[in-house]
Amino acid sequence: MKVAIIHYWLVAMRGGEKVLEQLCRLFPQADIFTHVVDPAVLSPTLKRHRIVTSFIDRLPGARRHYQKYLPLMPLALEHLDLRGYDLVISSESGPAKGVVTDPDAVHVCYCHSPMRYVWNMYHDYRGGLGRLAGSALVPVAHYLRWWDTVTAARVDSFAANSGNVARRIRRYYGRGSEVVFPPVEVDDFTPTRDHDGFYLVAGQLVGYKRADLAVEAFNRSGRPLVVIGAGEQLDALRRMARPNVRVLGPQPFDSLRSHYARCRALVFPGEEDFGIVPVEAMASGKPVLAYGRGGALETVVDGRTGLFFREQSVDAINAAVERFEATERRFSTEEIALHARGFHADLFRGRMAGLIARSLTAAGHDPGDLAALAAETELAAEPSLLAPPAPLPPRQRAAG
């Protein structure tokens, strides 16, 4: 089977690229198509594949300023030559699913989210631009919404990375989807009961993730906080942080893993489509204090693996920290880590294999080993991997 995987751009190794790596493990023979690639950031897994770029990659400054070429990306996608490919898998968050395939090809889209900057976060993005750029975005976004909706019809099957995103797919595209939670390498983390007293914020430091709220909350309370990540807010967070708040910036994985293991709890103040960071913290046995919207509702069990606060405010974060400290002994390191295993990368591959096999069968193609792989993954998985994560059953006793 000749397989093409379409990914929006390859300029960093973040959550979307982790999904791409797992798709590449499913299809080691696949070719990757993307708008822009920075070879220096690619993982060894991705480097083993043939990578084809659109003409965007040859435009001035594309690796750093690829988002400025967004209006050209629909045209660039449709210019990609996918003749002869039997299976096309698009990884959609930026423009990716709008490719033109052979009539008999099967197209499965793994949707991290419909493009946020023209749909659910349009007004946030527009408000963050200057007056001139904000005005220019209006007609561009109108065109992209039309194109994005029309090209949804080119997809045979949608996989959504969460129920949260599945609702957006239904709202914006009028299509159903199957929820397949993204892969988390939970085996990379060791559950640890002890802590060094500090709270942790980790992830991209961009506006909608609201790390600024956490910094201000801990500025006021005086509790120790560590912030790890890179992004446009990094310098501003360093300027506003008081001595009890350490803004470390980007850190290597070993440092991040160490901070997960040594923190008292993770603070997660943003609304995410899914959110891999809370699952990594839980795989380390640590509770998550999260804003109760978006993907956190599908990963964190309130009162069991963490606590929710219901509004994005400094007062709400500090109130959640106080509630956590008053009930901290009720949280079990072992149960939190067990819950995180429900998002294991093996489960992602098995469920994607099953979805793709059903799509191929429906189109009259032979799914090959995919159906068997899906069945074997479900049968061989640990009990915690057999079903999507659900609230843990009541415990017979409290555990510290």
List pLDDT tens digits, range 163-180. 999 999 999 999 999 999
Query: Residue 32 has which token pair?
Result: 């990757």
**How open is the CA angle 357-73-59, to the nearest 5 degrees?**
125
The pLDDT of residue 120 is: 80
Task: Quote the strand ranges of 285-362, DSSP E.
Answer: 288-291, 306-309
pLDDT reported for residue 393: 45
Residue with the two structure tokens 């470390």: 248
Residue 6 is encoded by which pair of tokens? 């379409």
> Strands (DSSP E) along the chain, which ranges?
3-7, 31-34, 51-53, 87-92, 106-111, 157-160, 178-179, 199-202, 225-228, 245-249, 265-268, 288-291, 306-309
**Residue with the two structure tokens 């950031």:** 41
Residues 6+ apart with CB under 8 A from 47: 39
Provide Rg for the chain, Cα atoms.
21
For 284, the token pair is 């380390």
Q: What is the Cα 382 distance to its own chain's centre?
A: 24
DSSP assignments along 259-292, one per residue: HHHH-SEEEE-S--SS-HHHHHHHHTT--EEEES
Q: What is the Cα 331 distance to its own chain's centre?
A: 26
Q: Concatenate the DSSP letters of all residues of 129-188 into one string.
A: S-HHHHHHHHHHHHHHHHHHHHHGGG-SEEEESSHHHHHHHHHHH----EE-PPPB-GGG
Neighbours of 242 (CB within 10 A): 12
Angle, helices 15-26 vs 345-362, to 10°: value is 60
Q: Please report the pLDDT score of residue 165 as a whole number.
A: 94
- The single residue listed with the structure tokens 């709400």 is 316
pLDDT of residue 15: 87
Question: CA end-to-end span of the chain, whole Å?
Answer: 52
CA distances from 400 to 304, 329, 332, 353 (A): 12, 4, 6, 39
Buried b (16+ CB within 10 A) or exposed e, 279-315: bbbbbbbbbbbbbbebbbbbbbbeebbbbbbeebbbe
Q: What is the pLDDT of residue 94?
A: 86
Task: Name the nearest CA neighbour of 63 among 40, 33, 88.
Answer: 40
| Residue-level pLDDT at 376 | 66
Domains detected in the chain: 3-183+344-384 (3.40.50.2000), 186-341 (3.40.50.2000)
| Residues of the chain under the 70 pLDDT cut | 376-400
What is d(CA 285, CA 332) in angstroms, rounded to the nearest whole number? 8
Q: In what order do the strands lie in the sheet with 87-92?
A: 51-53, 31-34, 3-7, 87-92, 106-111, 157-160, 178-179
